[in-house]
Structure 1
Amino acid sequence: MMSLDYWFMFPVAIGIATVAMASGVEGATFFTPLFILGLNLPTDVAIGTGLMTEVFGFTSGLFAYGYQGLIDFKLGKMLLAVTIPVALLGTVFAQWIPGDVLKIVLGLGLLVLAVSFLRSDHTSAGESPVLMPSPVSFPSFTLTSRRGDVFHYSITRPREGRILASIGALCLGMVSTGLGQLNGFFLLQRSRVPSPVAIGTSVFIVAITALIASVGHMVQFAQQENPPFGTILSLISFTVPGVLLGAQLGSRLAIRLPQHILERSMGLLFIVVGLLLILENFLRSS
């Protein structure tokens, strides 16, 4: 049965979706620990509900970034070719591997990425967001936004991008998060894709991949003796409207943030999320 007990998740979801959409990090990165620690939901229910909520938020953001012309669909399709099948594989692995082990590994990984973001050297905030391609890099991409900004950039390590995206998709399928963070690391730090395009393209990749992974989790719930669909419906009836609104706010915030500030913020964000994931496991085992 649906209940109104989770009404307070509406404003919380707005805040989470705003941060997630401005950074390109999955909303489930925050929702899943919150559902477990704050609402005492079973881990599998928290993961599935976090993914489903994330799908709505990222779909809203997808339309916002698409309208602004900040999604590189060619680059996104290149990474989706590996993230979709690997995310489905992750939903299968989630039934076999203890979630606590996966979250500790992911938490440590986020701390490593945070150090890399915080130590990166960047251009000043006053420089143009347009990046010119290196004469020796490949493949090259050019994107013109709705405002007329022209972005030139190159992906010099496509194989590395696919590997990182595969790892992130596997984590997303298993524990609902990881793909957005690794997309951000590859696109922003390793490839120097301009931040508006990097975030918009990451939103496109995560939205499609999370949709596939959430369907996989819902199918698994349907096979249980007592499916938790009442709890899930009660939650998403408040989180979904919140993330739809927050995603629009976050997409507008992202185009106003200088890239170096965004990367420093993501580094700090990864530290918080990584420690939260590790602390979650510690509290559950104590």
Structure 2
Amino acid sequence: MAATSFGNVLVTSLPIDSVPMESFLAHWWVFPVSIVFSTIALASGVSGALFFSPFFLLVVGLQPAQAIGAGLLTEVFGMGNGLRSYVKQGLVDYATAKWLLLGAVPSIVIGAFAAQYAPEGLLRGIFGVGLVVLGGFLVYYEPPDKCVPGEGEGPYLERKNTGRGSTVVEATNGERYAYDTCWRPPGVALATTGGFITGLISAGLPEIVTTQLVIRCRVPPRVAIATSVFVLAVAAVAGAAVRALSATPVWYVVAWSIPGVLIGGTIGTRTGKYVPSDLMELGLGVIFGLVSGIVLVTTFLL
């Protein structure tokens, strides 16, 4: 709901008169591409900004700060369908989410500010390396729905995660998820790291937080995904607000990408169950690795 309200404010305040109509019409093709990207992102459960930021940078030709800001702003609108669905299903662990937000919101704001002042070459380099890391993350780890809760916590975290009470999430369909309450500091640290990376390169928070909630905190996959999306929605609004207020948003691009992701998100949420998640994430990891290679080569060798 927060993302929707923020989106309404942004739409009503767009400086449309200052956008050259030729530039706006010339970028019509961003609309169908956005539908495709959003469909794939929602179907595979990864951050849509992993698609949009490289696309805005390499294909549309925006400057790094503009591309990352446009990707984050587009993601705010694109996550609306997924967020609404998870909240409606009652799958969000709000007790865990509020702790994750303590780390994610301040760090995404700091990352967004830092991206505005980083030299272009440095920002492109960070972006390329970030894509390598996130691509490797997708390849290395099993998709969240295939992970076994608690399989990666280890003896130390097992001791820390034991005896802290239990968390119960009652879904609206009658399903009941009960699990041991996780030791909070590692989750807050991961959310802080993911938030800063997201503010800096517009992606990273859900990829880092979701899997770690499952394999290190015993959280059931469906609850972990829903909670991660909720955290990303709130944090991304803060990051997008910083981008919109501290930079000149490329409205002639996001005016096409935003309606595209609204349509693609609807399609993706309905088709995701038919897509093999392990194959999808492996393919996406390889694609992001290739894209990061292009970014790094064009930044440092050409």
CA distance in 2, matches of 1:120, 1:188: 7
Q: How does 1:183-262 map to 2 (within 5 A)?
A: 183-221=209-247, 227=248, 229=249, 232-254=250-272, 256=273, 262=277
Q: Equivalent residue for 1:144?
A: 170
Percentage of pairs with the same residue: 31
State the shift of 1:120 in Å: 9.8
Q: Equivalent residue for 1:90?
A: 111
> Bigger shift: 137-146 or 77-86?
137-146
Q: 2:81 aligns with which of 47, 60, 82?
A: 60
Question: 1:106–1:274: 8 Å Cα contact kept in structure 2?
Answer: no
Q: How does 1:10-159 map to 2 (within 5 A)?
A: 10-94=31-115, 95-96=117-118, 98-118=122-142, 136=162, 138=164, 140-159=166-185
Give CA deviations for 1:196-233 in whole Å, capped at 9, x if unaligned. 22222111111111111111112221xxxxx4x4xx22
Question: 1:117–1:267: 8 Å Cα contact kept in structure 2?
Answer: no
CA distance in 2, matches of 1:208, 1:123: 26
Report SS of the residue matched to 2:134.
helix
TM-score, normalization: structure 2?
Answer: 0.77
* Cα distance change of structure 1 residues 145 and 33 upon mapping to structure 2, 3 Å threshold: same
**Which protein has the bigger helix share?**
2
Q: 2:295 aligns with which of 264, 277, 280?
A: 280
Instruction: State whether structure 2 residue 208 is matched by structure 1 residue 182.
Output: yes
Structure 1: tracts of 5 or more residues without a match: 125-133, 222-226
CA distance in 1, matches of 2:221, 2:167: 14
State the shift of 1:244 in Å: 1.5
* Cα distance change of structure 1 residues 120 and 243 upon mapping to structure 2, 3 Å threshold: closer
Structure 2: tracts of 5 or more residues without a match: 1-19, 149-158
Report SS of the residue matched to 1:4.
helix
* Cα distance change of structure 1 residues 240 and 123 upon mapping to structure 2, 3 Å threshold: closer
CA distance in 2, matches of 1:188, 1:25: 15
State the shift of 1:263 in Å: 5.3
Give CA deviations for 1:100-159 in whole Å, capped at 9, x if unaligned. 2322432342244235314999579xxxxxxxxx99364532222222222223354432
User: How many residues in Structure 1 have an aligned counterpart in Structure 2?
Assistant: 266
CA distance in 2, matches of 1:16, 1:192: 31
Question: 1:22–1:199: 8 Å Cα contact kept in structure 2?
Answer: no
TM-score, normalization: structure 1?
Answer: 0.81
> Bigger shift: 112-121 or 100-109?
112-121
Report SS of the residue matched to 1:25.
coil
State the shift of 1:43 in Å: 0.8
CA distance in 1, matches of 2:286, 2:166: 32
Report SS of the residue matched to 2:92.
coil
